[in-house]
Amino acid sequence: MHLLITGYNGTVGRAVAEAARAGGHRVTGWDRAAAPPDDDAAAERQLATVRPDALLHLAIPSSGTGRPNEGWLVNVHWSGHLAHLCRQRGIRFLYASTVMVFTDHAKGPFRPEQEPDATEGYGGEKRKGEQAVAGANPDATIARLGWQIGHGPGGNNMIDFFVTKIRDEGVIHASRRWLPATSFVDDTAAALIDLVATPHPGIHHVNANDRWSFVEIVQALNRRHGGMWRIEANDDFVYDQRMLDERVRIPRLAERLPELKNAAH
Q: Tell me the pLDDT tens digit for each residue of 88-128.
A: 999 999 999 999 999 999 999 999 999 999 999 999 999 99
Residue with the bigger pLDDT between 169 and 72: it is: 169
At residue 263, the pLDDT reads 62
Residue 66 CB partners (closer than 8 Å, separation 6+): none
Whole-number average pLDDT of the chain: 95
- Residue 265 pLDDT level (bands cut at 50, 70, 90): very low
* Mean pLDDT (whole number) for 197-202: 91
Instruction: State the pTM of this model.
Output: 0.95
Residue 264 pLDDT exceeds 60? no
Residue with the bigger pLDDT between 264 and 92: it is: 92
- Residue 224 pLDDT level (bands cut at 50, 70, 90): very high
208-220 tens-digit pLDDT: 999 999 999 999 9
* Mean pLDDT (whole number) for 136-157: 94
Cis peptide upstream of residue 138 (ω within 30 degrees of 0): no
Residue 58 pLDDT exceeds 80? yes
Reference 222, options 230, 234, 214, 232; nearest CA is 230
Cα distance between residue 66 and residue 60, in whole Å: 14
Residue with the bigger pLDDT between 89 and 264: it is: 89
At residue 62, the pLDDT reads 65
Q: What percent of the chain has pLDDT over 90?
A: 90
Residue 176 pLDDT exceeds 90? yes
Residue 65 pLDDT exceeds 80? no
Find out whether 78 and 125 touch, Cβ atoms under 8 Å: no
Residue 256 CB partners (closer than 8 Å, separation 6+): 184, 187, 208
Residue 30 pLDDT exceeds 80? yes
- Residue 70 pLDDT level (bands cut at 50, 70, 90): confident
